[in-house]
A and B are shown apart, each in its own frame.
Chain A
Amino acid sequence: MSTTGQPHAEPFRVSQLLYDTRYRSYTIQIFALAVIMLAFAWAIDNAVRNLEALGKDIDFGFIFETSAYDINQHLLEYDSTSTHGRAALVGIINTILVAIMGCITATAIGVLAGILRLSRNWIVARLMTVYIETVRNIPVLIWILFTVAIVNEVLPGVRSFRGEDALTGLFFDSVFITNRGFYIPAPVFEAGSAAVVAVLLLSIAAAWYFGRWARARQAATGRILPVFRVRLAILVAPVLVAFFALGSPISLEIPALRGFNFKGGIYMRDSLIGLWLALSVYTGAFIAEIVRAGILAISKGQTEAAYALGLRPGRTMSLVVLPQALRVIVPPLISQFLNLTKNSSLAIAVGYMDATGTLGGITLNQTGREMECILLLMAFYLAASLTISAAMNAYNRSVRLKER
């Protein structure tokens, strides 16, 4: 019946809320919650009163109204009688277009520059250092304006492809690089092309499956199959057979000079080209540093151990160094892709109609609905970022070192 082990049940004092660690965290959180909610209430109350004073309301109905403006570069069917919602969608697809193009070229540039910066060739390594330092220390907006200026001022005009001693296009006169942008051939799908595309998809699936099967077989029996050659055959042969059997249903429409401009094919405007190249070169410099850091992060002992096992340099790279380096490289690489996507919103400075240019630009100006437009715009970018970072986190979990 001893009570020595029990503390005295002291009466609760108010000061315990602040000095007793059991209660203090609740005090702080409740206080913070109250402050945050008050701040929000205050801001929302202000917004309601301000909107009232201006005779405005929150109304997303403008999405279904006619936009009455043109978008010069669009992948979807669009004209000035389409709705604001459609314009926003065209803008979003333009953002995704330039982001994907930029990510691919930036990765190519970055990997190349990152590896070359580690080159034993002094002058090549120095050149890459100069490239990386110059690009990283100058704002991306200046690069974008500068690249568009290069496209506009340095590349030949459409006129120089006409008349006496005219320039000819690249690739057998099918790709034209002008100061108004690039003109490239467009694929034309005729009847039966769906079958060819289906065969292509099936071949890709088959090649992927074959690779998996071959690896499993090698693991089980130790016999190595000529994976690359078989895969190439699986990819190419059925598609070619289907293509010619169905009478070449897919053809290329080559742009041709008619009057004052090129007609036909796909037209990539100067603003798209400038933005794409600038974002690629800018982000490429950051990716180069990431690649370099990733390769340097793998200790030399790994390479030496692989050599000691008798692996050839190519296999050492692909089986030992790269899988480990990728674990270091991929997370910051994805975050650079996200940065590129967000930087593509600078398109508004050069007149490329991306999501910011349509939803946050002309639609906002025409309808005067700042609140709604900016909310939608933020929601789009936020959704894109969160989706990609969720995917990245899943990848990180899957490649994380399984320790202890």
Chain B
Amino acid sequence: MAGEKPVAFVAERQIPPSPPPVRTGGALGWARDNLFSGVFNTVATLLSLAFVAYILAMVVPWLFLDSVWNASSLQGCREVDDGACLAVINERFLQFVFGFYPEELRWRPILAFVLLFVAIWPALFSSAPRKLLIFSALYPLLAYWLIWGGSFWGPVGAVVGIAIGWACIRFLPPLVRGRLDEGLAFLAAVGAGILATALWWLFGVTAFDGALSSVVAIGLEPVESARLGGFLLSTIIGVSGIAGSLPIGIVLALGRRSHLILIKAVCVGFIEFIRGVPLITLLFVAWLLLSYFLPPGTEFDLILRVVIMVTAFASAYMAEVIRGGLAALPAGQYEAADSLGLDYWKSMRLIILPQALKISIPGIVNTFIGLFKDTTLVIIIGLLDPVGLLQPIRADQNWNGIVWELYGFIALFFFIFCFAMSRYSMYLERNLDVGHR
């Protein structure tokens, strides 16, 4: 029958799929799809290519082929080649980094910078040992001591003040237990603690410092604020502002959503006022007005005043970012926390804030980046951050007439830092995103 008839053709193996036509696959197909898919697209591609080629043709020879790294003046550069005179950056690099910080003491800010990474390690990566957080808490005073110098016992005295306040709150109430109403005793202890710390800082620290210094004098050579400058100054203001603005911003955001009318009014007033005025006016306040509002004769370092104002400025923006995160949480989270019987602070600390902060990470990092960029504004009140160092360099006879190299160098520095921060925030977003939302 038909079964016995030999079959004309049976494929013995599967034919492998043939490659797509050259025009639709591979690089050519990709280019067809993405670059030349129509008249308009083709024109746009060609224009863009021409633009890129034009920029590269301008920048590459100038920056790489014809640039001069070793010369002692602009004329010297021009004698060698007509490209970028990078010799100015070569010569002034250390000034850009440290400002006028004494040369033989520059190991101190470097050490402080290295320790900074140790201090922020537990904050950035959860795998770090938790014990390091103690070091992080002490780091600000350590860095202050390293950079500004002076007696070691000054910062230690400040820590002792905090310890005294804590001891008052911890140990005073048990002493009067039974004789005084409990709540009243706690209130009194808090008041006494704050008062004791303030009194210690105002009067005790100097005596403490003097007494211990006469026994064991440990100290670093003091450095005046006026000598700080360059990227060191930007980093000091930026890092302190970042470290200060996050906690203050959280408190302000919670205050703005509080049911206590007075607290809410104060927070709203502060936030809206700060967000309504440019940072420059606040720097003017730091520069000219802040000393009016302090007791007569108070000498107060300009950099510290600037740090306070920059922190206040950033915290207002931070508060708005975090408020957005708090508002984005579904009401069920708040209600669930309440139904578990958690009090306000516990529910905030354990349930609400971890989620709200996670949602607001992009905004928080954007605020950090904005703050770091805004540190350049201090040149307007006469501090010598990198942009402020341009003027003295261009006033120098040797380098008179240099423009692009200097701007490019400073821009590159800020770009690297800010770009790294934004990439880190993306990494964090991906890492913390556990699939909700």
Chain A residues engaging chain B, CB cutoff 8 angstroms:
13-19, 25, 28-29, 32-33, 36, 43-44, 46-47, 49-51, 53, 119-124, 127, 133-134, 136-142, 145-146, 149, 153, 342-343, 345-346, 348-349, 356, 360, 364, 370-371, 374, 377-378, 381-382, 385-386
**Interface pairs (17), CB distance under 8 Å:** A18-B187, A32-B260, A46-B295, A46-B296, A49-B296, A121-B48, A138-B418, A139-B373, A139-B374, A139-B387, A145-B387, A342-B278, A348-B280, A349-B379, A370-B284, A370-B289, A374-B285
Asked if A32 and B262 make an inter-chain contact with CB atoms under 8 angstroms apart, the answer reads yes
One of B1-9, B18-26, B153-161, B408-416 contacting the partner: B408-416
- Residues in A with CB closer than 8 Å to B182 are 15
- Partner of B387 from A36, A46, A142, A371 at Cβ < 8 Å: A142
How many angstroms between the C-alpha atoms of A43 and B260 in the bound complex?
25
- Residues in B with CB closer than 8 Å to A145 are 387, 390, 407
Nearest 7 CB-CB pairings of A with B? A15-B183, A18-B183, A385-B276, A137-B418, A139-B373, A342-B278, A43-B293
- Known contacts A50-B292, A360-B280, A386-B276; A29/B414 CB under 8 A: no
Asked if A46 and B260 make an inter-chain contact with CB atoms under 8 angstroms apart, the answer reads no
**Is residue B37 within 8 Å, beta carbon to beta carbon, of the partner chain?**
yes
Asked if B277 and A32 make an inter-chain contact with CB atoms under 8 angstroms apart, the answer reads no
How many angstroms between the C-alpha atoms of A343 and B278 in the bound complex?
7
Taking CB atoms and an 8 Å cut-off, the chain B residues in 317-332 that contact chain A are: none
How many angstroms between the C-alpha atoms of A53 and B280 in the bound complex?
27
Taking CB atoms and an 8 Å cut-off, the chain B residues in 280-316 that contact chain A are: 280-281, 284-285, 288-289, 291-296
How many angstroms between the C-alpha atoms of A127 and B48 in the bound complex?
8
Closest chain A residue to B421, Cβ basis: A137
Asked if A19 and B373 make an inter-chain contact with CB atoms under 8 angstroms apart, the answer reads no
Asked if B284 and A141 make an inter-chain contact with CB atoms under 8 angstroms apart, the answer reads no
**Is residue B358 within 8 Å, beta carbon to beta carbon, of the partner chain?**
no
- Known contacts A133-B419, A153-B403; A356/B278 CB under 8 A: yes
- Residues in A with CB closer than 8 Å to B276 are 381-382, 385-386
- Partner of A386 from B51, B272, B296 at Cβ < 8 Å: B272
Asked if A18 and B373 make an inter-chain contact with CB atoms under 8 angstroms apart, the answer reads no
B: contact size bracket: 35 or more
- Residues in A with CB closer than 8 Å to B45 are 121, 123-124
Asked if B373 and A138 make an inter-chain contact with CB atoms under 8 angstroms apart, the answer reads yes
How many angstroms between the C-alpha atoms of A137 and B37 in the bound complex?
33
How many angstroms between the C-alpha atoms of A382 and B281 in the bound complex?
11
- Known contacts A18-B183, A137-B369, A137-B418; A124/B411 CB under 8 A: no
Chain B residues engaging chain A, CB cutoff 8 angstroms:
33-35, 37, 41, 44-45, 48-49, 51-52, 181-184, 186-187, 259-263, 266, 272-273, 275-281, 284-285, 288-289, 291-296, 369, 373-374, 376-377, 379-380, 387, 390, 403-404, 407, 410-411, 414-415, 418-419, 422
Closest chain-B Cβ to A157's Cβ sits at a distance in Å of: 16
- Residues in A with CB closer than 8 Å to B273 are 382
- Partner of B296 from A36, A53, A139, A378 at Cβ < 8 Å: A53
Asked if B263 and A370 make an inter-chain contact with CB atoms under 8 angstroms apart, the answer reads no
Asked if B34 and A120 make an inter-chain contact with CB atoms under 8 angstroms apart, the answer reads yes
Closest chain-A Cβ to B179's Cβ sits at a distance in Å of: 13
- Partner of B291 from A50, A141, A348, A381 at Cβ < 8 Å: A50
Asked if B281 and A360 make an inter-chain contact with CB atoms under 8 angstroms apart, the answer reads yes
- Residues in B with CB closer than 8 Å to A16 are 183
Closest chain B residue to A141, Cβ basis: B376
Closest chain B residue to A335, Cβ basis: B275
Asked if B280 and A29 make an inter-chain contact with CB atoms under 8 angstroms apart, the answer reads no
Asked if A371 and B415 make an inter-chain contact with CB atoms under 8 angstroms apart, the answer reads no
How many angstroms between the C-alpha atoms of A275 and B330 in the bound complex?
44
How many angstroms between the C-alpha atoms of A19 and B187 in the bound complex?
11
How many angstroms between the C-alpha atoms of A50 and B290 in the bound complex?
11
Asked if B52 and A127 make an inter-chain contact with CB atoms under 8 angstroms apart, the answer reads yes
- Residues in B with CB closer than 8 Å to A142 are 376, 387, 407, 410-411, 414
Asked if B422 and A14 make an inter-chain contact with CB atoms under 8 angstroms apart, the answer reads no
- Known contacts A50-B292, A349-B380; A121/B34 CB under 8 A: yes
Asked if B418 and A120 make an inter-chain contact with CB atoms under 8 angstroms apart, the answer reads no
How many angstroms between the C-alpha atoms of A140 and B35 in the bound complex?
33
Closest chain-B Cβ to A223's Cβ sits at a distance in Å of: 34
Asked if B48 and A123 make an inter-chain contact with CB atoms under 8 angstroms apart, the answer reads yes
Asked if A141 and B187 make an inter-chain contact with CB atoms under 8 angstroms apart, the answer reads no
- Residues in B with CB closer than 8 Å to A348 are 280, 380
Closest chain-B Cβ to A88's Cβ sits at a distance in Å of: 14
Asked if B277 and A342 make an inter-chain contact with CB atoms under 8 angstroms apart, the answer reads yes
Given A46-B292, A138-B414, A346-B280, output 19 extra A-B contacts at Cβ < 8 Å.
Answer: A14-B181, A29-B260, A32-B260, A50-B293, A50-B296, A120-B37, A121-B41, A121-B45, A124-B48, A133-B419, A137-B422, A138-B418, A142-B376, A142-B387, A142-B407, A149-B404, A356-B281, A378-B281, A381-B276
- Residues in A with CB closer than 8 Å to B52 are 123, 127
